[in-house]
Structure 1
Amino acid sequence: MSAVTRPTPLPAALEVRELLEGLLGRDVEAVVGTGAVDPHQHPGAVVGAYVDDNLKLRALVVFDLPLAAWAGAAIALVPAATAATCVEDAVITPALFENTAEILNVGASLFNHDGCPHLRLYETYAPRETLPGDIAKWVLAYVQRLDMELTVSGYGTGRASVLVI
């Protein structure tokens, strides 16, 4: 077994897009350089917290509510109209939240590379859920991050932020 020598690299936008395309079975367009997703602003965001084997926080993935609704619907072939209602009402259904949490769980693969700490999804926080202090302080921090807008074909557009801490 090799010793961990490198920090976890920030995934490229192409890797994020390809992961989503593979999971959703749909084309996903990506535009990088958009603003950071702030889960404290209405309508909120789904936050996935990733930890290493020592339970140290190493990465975050933040999907704004629209992206969470679109992706959560697309992965389960739920009609786009259902997700559109969630976006309009600024609330995500429990089923779509669970689907999004599963996407974030598989998203741990974005961070796992040879010679780097093994990361896993530790917790997923729903829109407007109070984030623990050790997570809240990082979501808008100036760290290695990728802020992007993603459009799920046949569904809609939302924003994502990927951070390595």
Structure 2
Amino acid sequence: MLPDRKDIKDLFEGLLGRDVDITEGRPVDIGIPKPVIASYVDDAQRLRAVAVMSFGLAARSGAALALVPRGAAEAAEEDRLLPDNLFDNAYEICNVLAAPFGDAMGTHLRLSEAYAPSSPVPSHLLSVASQLAAREDVDLEITGYGKGTLSLVVSV
């Protein structure tokens, strides 16, 4: 019910136009700096999945998508403030993640919402993001930009 690692790798490489290494990761920390959290719903508007993108992955992939220098992502991490342009790019990556999620689950999913690190996140989404079952946690290393973590969680 979860996208396989090859699909995740292919999605990031296709969007970013860069090589991406994918390895086993740990669940994204929901503490500080806060991650980007995205929710996915089916056609009946039921919550089906959540993606949690570490602050570092959001900054790095957001920068890589727009060909912004790596220093912008590093500055965002240092300041613990994700600029709007990097969040907008991370949001778009979350939007595209709906397809492999839906394919793996055998249903049409769409991005319902993505929450910036500075935005409050509904408690039910935090609960799903923290569950231990039905999840895939991976580290992604984007060539020229560095590493971040992605957690994909199916709502059970």
Matched, 1:94 2:77: no
Paired residues, number: 155
- Determine the structure 1 residue equivalent to 2:12: 20
Aligned to 1:129: 119
The answer to whether the 8 A contact 2:3-2:103 is kept is no
Is the partner of 2:130 in helix, strand or coil? coil
RMSD across aligned C-alpha pairs, in angstroms?
A: 1.4
Tell me, yes or no, if the aligned pair for 2:53 and 2:149 is still in contact at 8 Å.
Answer: yes
Structure 1 residue runs of 5 or longer lacking an equivalent are 1-8
Offset, 1:31: 1.0
Note the alpha carbon deviations across 1:15-61, whole angstroms, 9 max, x for none: 111100000000011111x220122x111100110000111110111
Pairing 1:63–2:59 present: no
TM-score normalised by structure 2 residue count: 0.94
Report Cα offsets for 1:106-154 as digits up to 9, x if no partner.
1111122398221000000011422112211111102211111111100
Measure, in 2, the Cα distance between the counterparts of 1:122 and 1:112. Answer: 13
- Residues 21-60 of structure 1 aligned to structure 2 (within 5 Å): 21-32=13-24, 34-39=25-30, 41-60=31-50
Distance across 2 between alignment mates of 1:25 and 1:47: 23
Identity %: 41
- Match runs of 1:103-118 below 5 Å: 103-113=93-103, 116-118=106-108
Task: Return 5+ residue gaps in structure 2 as ranges.
Answer: none
User: What SS is found at the alignment partner of 1:160?
Assistant: strand
Bigger radius of gyration, 1 or 2? 1
Q: Give the Cα–Cα distance (whole angstroms) in 1 for the partners of residues 85 and 46 of structure 2.
A: 29
Moved beyond 6 Å, runs of 4+: none
Using the size of structure 1 for normalisation, the TM-score is: 0.89
